[in-house]
Amino acid sequence: MANIKSQKKRNITNEKSRQRNRAIKSELKTYVKKAQNAEENKAEAVRVAIKKIDQAAAKGILHKNTAARKKSALARSLNA
């Protein structure tokens, strides 16, 4: 562990954001799986999953191209 005060603070901040990002990514995976495995109301499940993907991309948790790729895959599965 560093003994520089600013680095100690940075480590705490990094850990908080890491935990937050993990929680959001986990929730995102859950919604995507629900959308892929939905039998009835598939369109609604895909809509919610795409919304969550957009929110994660806006927060910088997902890269915008990754978000676009995931949304495209969901749309293809819906239209297939």
Tell me the C-alpha distance between 54 and 70, whole Å. 10
CA dihedral in degrees (20, 22, 26, 27; nearest 10)?
Answer: 10
Could you tell me the pLDDT band of residue 80, with boundaries at 50, 70 and 90? confident
User: What confidence tens digit (pLDDT) does each residue in 20-66 have?
Assistant: 999 999 999 999 999 999 988 999 999 999 999 999 999 999 999 99
Query: In a 3-state reduction of DSSP, which class is residue 80?
Result: coil
Cα angle 68, 70, 30 (rounded to 5 degrees) comes to 135
**How confident is the model at residue 12, as a pLDDT?**
96
d(C-alpha 77, C-alpha 69), whole Å: 12
